[in-house]
Amino acid sequence: MAEIIISLIIGISLSAASGFRIFVPFLVLSICSFSGWIDLGGSAEWIGSMPALIAFSVATVVEIGAYYIPWIDNMLDVISLPLSLVAGALLTSSMIVEFNPLLKWTLAIILGGGAALNTQLLSIKARALSSVFTTGLGNPIVSTIESVASTVISFMAIFLPVLALIVLIFIIYWFYRMIQKARLILKS
> What residue spans define the domains of the chain?
2-187
Distance in angstroms (rounded) separating the CA atoms of residues 91 and 160: 17
Q: Is 125:90 a contact under the CB 8 Å cutoff?
A: no
Q: Which residues of 96-121 are buried (b: 16+ CB within 10 A; e: fewer)?
A: bbebeeeebbebbbebbbbbbbbbbe
Write the pLDDT tens digit of every residue in 82-141: 999 999 999 999 998 778 889 889 999 999 999 999 999 988 888 888 888 888 788 889
* Confidence check: pLDDT of 74 > 80: no
Share of the chain above pLDDT 70, in %: 100
pLDDT > 90: percent of the chain: 55
Residue with more model confidence, 69 or 1: 69
pLDDT digits (tens, 9 = 90+) for 145-175: 999 999 999 999 999 999 999 998 888 888 8
Q: In whole angstroms, what is the distance from residue 91 CA to residue 15 CA?
A: 6
Q: What is the pLDDT of residues 12-28, one digit of tens each?
A: 999 999 999 999 999 99
pLDDT at 73 over 80: no
3-state class of 68 per DSSP? coil
